[in-house]
Amino acid sequence: MKAILPEMPLLCLHPTMVLLSEKEKNPQYWREQAQQTLKKALKLQKLNTNVAKNIIMFLGDGMGVSTVTAARILKGQLQNMKGEENMLEMDQFPYVALSKTYNTNAQVPDSAGTATAYLCGVKANEGTVGVSAAVTRSQCNTTVGNEVTSILKWAKQAGKSAGIVTTTRVNHATPSAAYAHSADRDWYSDNEMPPEALQHGCKDIAQQLFDNIQDIEVIMGGGRKYMFPKNTSDVEYPDEDKYRGTRLDNRSLIDVWKNRKPRDKNAHYVWNLAELMKLDLNNVDFLLGLFEPVDMVYELNRNNQTDPSLTEMVKVAIKILSRNPKGFFLLVEGGRIDHGHHEGKAKQALHETVEMDNAIGLAKVMTSEEDTLTVVTADHSHVFTFGGYTPRGNSIFGLAPMQSDVDKKPFTSILYGNGPGYKLVDGKRENVTTVDFANASYQAQSAVPLRQETHGGEDVAVFAKGPMAHLLHGVHEQNYIPHVMAYAACIGQNKDHCHSGAPHSSVGALPLLSTLFSLLLLMLF
């Protein structure tokens, strides 16, 4: 078979052969760069202790540190840079912490128990959403009395607007923890629930989206089929049986959503980009956008004439939510980063990450760091890595510059610890130069064969900027995150510690006291 070698920059150069710019050869370039960074860091001594009027949480599902680094390089290379020197939007946040992601019953977590932690402030069992660890997965009768509320509800109780934007279905694990209480993350509609759960009175997650917090101003993502009666044809794919409605209760939840809105409010349901763009957002009080029957299409495969990007959805959401003088809480999920990794399709996962970073950049332009706390984090990592002593500027999807010294075959820089990319040809590892390893659907080689690649168990990064962002520092339990956000906004459990609009003056004094204490210790010792 003829080798298929994609065009890639510096594909096979040895690191010592990489062409460096003249400025990078000059030590003064690096010294000046470091001095500029130092000046920015020194300015952080003046902490932002304002009350957060707005909170935006960007959640990259499965966006571990290796994914962030690889996406940084990719985004730079898409701009004709070598890549490594690039800075993502999230890289430019002044405060960074690490989050411990384990579930109460799992060393390596899932997206439901983690969502409960970073949205509800309570660690939980894997597979459960919006409930405490007293709930056993799939056991409906353990739910009652063990429900926990989320920061989205705390924001609504304080008079703020709220929004959910995701590239998965709106009743998937991450968004569902914001509004639902379910013993099983897979109870998308009543069709997926066991009879005993229905008999015990447990509700499916799609129904809870419209029952539990009825006045969420913005909801956008996928998941249409869970909102319609069983066998209802989908508006976009009428001939596809797999996209037909699933509900056994014969209800259209879209109608339920519309009918519950006050008559003096404008509620709009849209299912494609054209309908979304036609809206006069100054006259939209409630927006429900369901753009796919299940999850949204990968960014690389997206039809930009019919399907909105994550950035486009975020722009609409912020415009609507910003009209509330009391502010808003917005949850934005780059959910298909996770799906790309599970499928072993690193190219899909990394382009999803870049698109989420684009949305973060847009949010920066549309809001002020003075009154908006922005937090970017992940629920968990993946067994995704890249290495192989690749030279500077090597395509992030390219080959390592050497062959294996064991089986004498080339390998890509990107690899997975396990997953569907494990392939043998005549009992030996596949020669990757015989396939198009730059293709969007290429499944990177893995060490252990699995139909789906697994999550990773290591800590994930937390990036923060805005009011009280400095409280996210060091290594924290994942459930600490919503408590910081609530404290910054004076909502939820922390609603009484400051007056609306007033600075966190007592907190602002803490760094000074700490400095004086440190000086005292130096004098004593």
Q: Which residues are catalytic?
A: 111
Dist. CA 469–CA 488, nearest whole Å: 8
CB 138 within 8 A of CB 194: yes
Report the C-alpha dihedral over residues 452, 173, 339, 445, rounded to 10 degrees: -40
C-alpha 262/C-alpha 365 separation (Å) is 32
With beta carbons less than 8 A apart as the criterion, state whether 515 and 140 touch.
no
Determine if residue 476 is labeled as part of a ligand binding site. Answer: no
**Dihedral of the alpha carbons of 148, 56, 313, 296, in degrees to the nearest 10:** -50
500 phi-psi bin (left φ>0, alpha ψ -120 to 50, beta other): beta
CA distance 374 to 153: 18
Write the burial class of residue 490 (CB in 10 Å: 0-12 exposed, 13-18 middle, 19+ buried).
buried
Residues in the chain: 525
- Is 184 annotated for ligand binding? no
For the CA atoms of 165, 169, 172, 178, the dihedral, rounded to the nearest 10 degrees, stands at 30
| The residue to which tokens 């005993």 are assigned | 196
483 annotated ligand-binding residue: no
Is residue 346 within 8 Å of residue 180, measured between CB atoms?
no
Q: What are the structure tokens assigned to 473, written together?
A: 């520092």
* Distances from the Cα of 227 to the Cα of 94, 194, 220, 277, angstroms: 41, 18, 13, 23
Three-class DSSP category at 224: helix
Q: What b/e string do you get for 69-82 counting C-beta neighbours within 10 Å, with b at 16 or more?
A: ebbbbbbbbeeeeb
Radius of gyration of the chain from its Cα atoms, rounded to whole angstroms: 24
Phi-psi region of 182 (alpha: psi -120 to 50; beta: other; left: phi over 0): beta
Residue 7, token pair as written in the block: 């065009």
CA distances from 116 to 45, 150, 154 (A): 33, 8, 14
Residue 459 annotated in ligand binding = no
What are the tokens at 136? 């056993």
Sheet holding 414-419, edge to edge: 384-386, 414-419, 446-449
Question: Could you tell me if 371 and 50 are in contact, meaning their C-beta atoms sit under 8 angstroms apart?
Answer: yes
Pairing of strands 54-60, 328-334: parallel
Q: Does residue 147 have a known ligand-binding role?
A: no
Tell whether residue 172 is among the known ligand binding residues: yes
Distances (CA, A) of 391 to 10, 11, 15, 16: 8, 8, 4, 8
Query: Annotated binding residue at 342?
Result: yes
Q: Which residues are annotated as a binding site?
A: 61, 172, 174, 333, 338, 342, 379-380, 455
Q: Which residues are annotated as a binding site for Zn(2+)?
A: 61, 338, 342, 379-380, 455
Q: Which residues are annotated as a binding site for Mg(2+)?
A: 61, 172, 174, 333
